[in-house]
Amino acid sequence: MDEQNRKIRTVVRIGKNTYTVVGKESEQHVMEAADLVDAKIREIKSKNPYLSSTQLAVLAALNISNDYVTVKKKLEDKQNEED
């Protein structure tokens, strides 16, 4: 397999679970993403410790998606201003 198509395996810990992530991104990139998810789950859990793991995961995904959409919209607006 050539360097461009090489898959990188990264082991991350989110909450109480360990996951092996396989992809093209660097280990540092995957660890940073996993740390973001873990931090968001901890933040939500600290505000409502009675949520299930599934509820925590969905709310974390929704919060992170909201951040992504906000940043994407700002970038699009900035690009439209430059055009």
- What confidence tens digit (pLDDT) does each residue in 14-60 have? 998 999 999 999 999 999 999 999 999 999 999 999 999 999 999 99
Count of domains for the chain: 1
In our burial notation (b when 16+ CB lie closer than 10 A, e otherwise), range 40-77 reads: bbeebbeeeeeeeeeebbebbeeeeeeeeeeeeeeeee
Give the residue numbers spanning the domain of 7.
Answer: 3-82
| pTM of this structure | 0.83
Structure tokens at 68: 């992504």
Rounded CA separation 73/76 (Å): 5
Does 64 have pLDDT greater than 70?
Answer: yes
Contact in structure between 34 and 14 (CB atoms under 8 Å) = yes
